[in-house]
Amino acid sequence: MQKGVTLLELIFALAITGILVVLVMPAVAGLRDRYLVGTAAQAIASAHNRARIQAVLQSRVVDLEVRPDSLLIRATSGATAIPLWSEIGPAQNGITLGSPTRILTFAPTGITLGFANATFVLTRGSARRQVIVSRLGRVRIIP
């Protein structure tokens, strides 16, 4: 008696595996979308905190620019802007930023100047998160 599998058994096992993969793919894609959107929301919240701390530590006005392709922190000194930090934006992972480019300006005290609240809506597939930034520095991520 020989040990091993026949070609028919191998084809049957591959067919069952293929059917299972097709059934599981939508769930895995949804998990990936939720993970990427959550990571992008955390990146915006972290950039906000980083810009706020930079404004306080350097005792100068600091801008955070949130764009689909990048997050930028610049120190403002008169008419010139000195780049302090940058990171790729949500669009690099296929995430849509539902608001236009927005610049948040932080006073040397760490309080944001010029707006009441800013809301950034991030979407990819069926995953959606909102990052809400208050003027006094509170950042909330809403699923």
pLDDT confidence of residue 39: 96
For the chain, list residues with pLDDT below 50: none
* DSSP 3-state of 12: helix
User: Which DSSP helix (H) or strand (E) runs through 106?
Assistant: strand 102-106
pLDDT confidence of residue 5: 85
pLDDT confidence of residue 79: 82
pTM value?
A: 0.82
Query: Is 87 buried (19+), middle (13-18) or exposed (0-12) by CB count in 10 A?
Result: middle
pLDDT confidence of residue 1: 65
Residue 81 to residue 103: CA distance in whole angstroms: 13
pLDDT confidence of residue 67: 95
Alpha helices in the chain (DSSP H): 7-58
Are the CB atoms for 72 and 64 separated by under 8 Å? yes
